[in-house]
Amino acid sequence: MADNSASRITLEVFRSEKGRLSRFDVPVPAPASRVLDALLYVREHLDPSLGFRYSCRAGMCGSCALVVNGKEALACQSAIGALGTTTVRLSPLRALPVLHDLMCDMTPFFDTLKRADAAMRPKEPNRKTLRVMPPGEPHRALIEGQNGCLTCGACFSACEWSATRPGYLGPAAMNRVLMLSLDERDARGKSRLATVANESGALRCHGLGNCSQVCPVDIPLREGMQKLKGLLAMEDIS
Amino acid sequence: MASQLLDLKLWRWQRYTALISLPLVLAHVVLQYWVFGIDSANFDAVSARVKGGIILGLDVLLLAAVSGHAFLGLRSMLQDYARSSRTAAWITRATLFAFAATLVYGLAALVVFL
């Protein structure tokens, strides 16, 4: 679609109650119009029963993650002009139970974070704030690449194992474990590696890299998994 | 927990055998093609080489490393399709048994040359 100014698209949306796609003719004011804009248009003008999530509209909360033309993305960050097609097909994230249309039950995804204990356990629990790591500090460089996860679930959806292997932790949880195991402010440190040193964790990852392809904040998840495997190969895990 | 530690150990051995196999395979190719020559691969020539000790040692290491890596890799691939930990455990047993059988068969073949 070379010029999308004041054009129209066909929005195909998976509908959970109907069990099929609904098609909507949606105007696109500009190439930079987002998929979220199209969804909001549908809900306001065509079908108020259409279910989808959004919050910040700025690519920071991760609420609007879904599958756009077969690839996981944030609806608020997906420019319709960049999709290169006049038919945009939307479906809910994979590997998660569908609540309504494009809304999934995120509980299984958040459970992976709980099972991986993907929360900071500060070395100084009585301190009110974490020690700031200024730019350029070597410790910061160790973990910076893994920082910034929105917990949107896009990588979990894209991973081949999330839907086919019950109990698989998934890229987001393991990325968090990697980051925390390298963070010198965390009390658990490398002992965290034991939570992913199994067939539900890093040992099952084949490094396909779907996770890296879909991460909306470009966290190098596949490289992170390689780093994690390197730590598992070298560290004493008991 | 014990099975998890075993999984980690076997996964690590898959990496170690890959590292060990590489120089051994290269050495094997160099020895076979350039040092001894493939045309001299008759029973007496091979027997004389194997009795030398160093070649026997290299061959045993090569057999163990390459077979180990192959069967550990096969185990990993098959476990992609295991839907329960019981199935996964049987896959581990079967592939380790196949590795052991291959090792014994290979060692028996080498013994013939001694």
B20-50 pLDDT, tens digit per residue, is 999 999 999 998 888 888 776 788 888 888 8
> Which pLDDT belongs to residue A5?
52
**Given this model, what pLDDT does residue B2 score?**
67
Q: Enter the ipTM.
A: 0.70
Query: Which of A54-58, A183-187, A233-237, B83-87 is predicted most confidently?
Result: A54-58
Please name the residues in contact with A209: beta carbons below 8 A apart, sequence gap of 6 or more.
A221, A222
The answer to whether the CB of A55 falls within 8 A of the CB of A34 is no
At B44 the pLDDT is 87
**A136/A90: higher pLDDT:** A90
Q: Roughly how many angstroms between the first and final C-alpha of chain A, as a whole number?
A: 56
Higher pLDDT, A3 or A114: A114
pLDDT value at residue B48: 85
Question: Which site among B8, B12, B80 would you substitute to test the A interface, given the most A Cβ atoms closer than 10 Å to its Cβ?
Answer: B8
Q: Which one, of A127, A230, A115, lies nearest residue A182 by Cα?
A: A230
Chain B residues within 8 A of A237 when measuring between CB atoms: 8
Q: Are strands A87-91 and A98-100 parallel, antiparallel or unpaired?
A: unpaired
Tell whether the model's pLDDT for residue A3 goes beyond 60: no
Q: Where are the alpha helices (DSSP H) in chain A?
A: 35-41, 80-83, 107-115, 138-144, 154-158, 160-164, 171-182, 210-214, 221-234
Q: What is the mean pLDDT of chain A?
A: 92
At A49-74, the pLDDT tens digits run: 999 999 999 999 999 999 999 999 99
Chain B residues in contact with A232 (beta carbon < 8 A): 8, 11-12
- What distance in Å separates the CA atoms of residue A82 and residue A65, rounded to the nearest whole number? 17
pLDDT at A2 over 60: no
Mean per-residue pLDDT for A33-43? 97
Please enumerate residues of B whose Cβ is less than 8 A from a Cβ of A: 4-5, 7-8, 11-12, 15, 79-80, 88
**B8, B15, B79 ranked by CB distance to A237: nearest:** B8
Q: Angle A171-182/A221-234 helices, nearest 10 degrees? A: 60
Three-state DSSP at A86 gives: coil
pLDDT bin (cut points 50, 70, 90) of residue B81 is: confident
